[in-house]
């Protein structure tokens, strides 16, 4: 009788410890995704800042166009946080792509702008932040894949469902190529 009781307690303790361990692993994976999304937000914010600086350079050549673009960017810009979705990121990248397209048109109208050292340096900063966003996207997608893999495997899927963990959306690569 006592040995049966000890066996039952041991099994229950093992299940409880496994559940706690699984929950902690899922929390770590979920937080990794949140962290990766925050990093994307930081890089997007920096890219917006570099874009605004680029528009300040253009202001000396095409003031009305640059002021319109600055106003448009400021009104449509949203912060990307840990709880943002891939769609939020895509919208913000769309704003940047649209602005860069308009900047390219202005640059074609004012060829001397391409030779301006400040323009060149600022454009390089915009490109650097784009590369950093791409790296952050890769990290985000790896984290999403890890969580998805865990959540989809039995018996973790039962624990994940009970604790409210869900699969996250990937950041699609085609959106990154829109630039």
Task: Provide the residue ranges of all domains of the chain, joining segments of one domain with +.
Answer: 30-176
Q: Which residues contact 30 (CB under 8 A, 6 or more apart)?
A: 147, 165
Q: By three-state DSSP, how is residue 22 classified?
A: helix
Least-confidence region, from 30-39, 50-59, 137-146: 50-59
Q: What is the pLDDT of residue 2?
A: 85
Q: What is the DSSP letter of 153?
A: S
At 114, the pLDDT band (50, 70, 90 cuts) reads confident
Query: Over 60: is that where the pLDDT of 23 sits?
Result: yes
- Using the CB atoms, write b or e for 150-162: b if 16+ within 10 Å: bbeeeebeebbee
pLDDT surpasses 90 at 79: no
Q: What percent of the chain has pLDDT over 70?
A: 96
More confident: 27 or 173: 27
Give residue-wise pLDDT tens across range 156-172. Answer: 988 998 898 999 999 98
Topology adopted by domain 30-176: de novo design (two linked rop proteins) (1.20.1440)
Report pLDDT for 173. 66
Residues 6+ apart with CB under 8 A from 121: none
What rounded mean pLDDT belongs to the chain?
A: 88
pLDDT of the residue at 80: 86
Q: Which residues contact 51 (CB under 8 A, 6 or more apart)?
A: 73, 96, 99, 100, 126
Distance of alpha carbon 96 from alpha carbon 123, whole angstroms: 13
């Amino acid at each position: 009788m006592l040995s049966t009781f000890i066996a039952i307690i041991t099994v229950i303790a093992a299940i409880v410890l496994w559940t706690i361990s699984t929950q902690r692993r899922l929390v770590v994976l979920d937080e990794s995704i949140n962290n990766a999304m925050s990093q994307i937000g930081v890089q997007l914010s920096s890219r917006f800042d570099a874009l605004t600086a680029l528009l300040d350079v253009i202001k000396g050549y095409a003031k009305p166009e640059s002021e319109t673009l600055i106003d448009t960017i400021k009104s449509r810009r949203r912060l990307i946080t840990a709880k943002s979705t891939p769609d939020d990121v895509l919208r913000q990248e769309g704003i940047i792509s649209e602005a860069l397209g308009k900047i390219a048109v202005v640059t074609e109208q004012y060829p001397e702008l391409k030779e301006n050292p400040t323009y060149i340096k600022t454009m390089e900063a915009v490109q650097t932040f784009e590369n950093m966003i791409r790296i952050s996207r890769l990290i985000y997608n790896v984290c999403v894949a890890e969580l998805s893999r865990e959540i989809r495997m039995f018996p973790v899927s039962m624990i994940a469902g009970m604790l409210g963990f869900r699969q996250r959306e990937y950041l699609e690569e085609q959106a990154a190529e829109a630039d």
